[in-house]
Amino acid sequence: MQVLLADDDEYMRLLLGEVLGALGHETEFAADGDEAWASWERRRPALAILDWQMPGLDGVELTRRIRAAESRPETFVLIVTANDSREGLATVLDAGADDYLTKPLVAEDFRARLAIAERRIAQEAARRQAEDALARTRWLAGIGETTLALQHEINNPLAALLGNAALLDAGMVTEAEVKECVTTIVEQSRRIANVVKRLSALRDPQSVEYIRGARMIDLGGE
């Protein structure tokens, strides 16, 4: 898992980095908030471990920036802080952090927080994958319903239009019948154009049952 570890204390970076490395995580280090922000923008890691108090952007402000830059929360943010007051922890969580760890750090506590983060990240990834699959299924169903609606609405006028055009092209109509064929072609063309217009005007498309087991987009009446 890709991890961003931001702390201005070199000893803390070494200590936490050793734990992360032993667990097989790929870690990028930052010594201040500005460097951490640049790293996050470049890599978008799954986990960001941020010290609250550090030069440049502090961990809370950095968390706010991360959340503002994401279309949906994707980075698990763990804030490390010496401020264990109720107000301080509320500030951390209100900024958008997922979890916090208070100083002085104990390696076992850090590993436990990492286990929680890994579990949450895996759960979120599975949820997003399911949501994306559902969205694609709905999108494909919408294409099928739209196709069926167009077929239903256009087949008859298209058949009439092509039939009359074929008669004219083959010279199989009398001079007196030409005007009637042209009129039919114009009328059926307008019907098809009206279907396209109704389709483009849809704002909240609804599907209706076409035949048993099949649905189509309701284009509304003429």
pLDDT digits (tens, 9 = 90+) for 61-80: 999 999 999 988 889 999 99
Structural domains present in the chain: 2-105 (3.40.50.2300), 135-217 (no CATH)
Looking at residue 83, what is its pLDDT? 83
pTM as predicted: 0.64
40, 63 in Cβ contact below 8 A?
Answer: no
Angle formed by the axes of helices 33-43 and 59-69, to 10°? 20
Give the SS3 label for residue 82: coil
Closest CA to 79 of 191, 155, 69, 61: 61
Query: Per residue in 171-189, pLDDT tens?
Result: 888 888 888 999 999 999 9
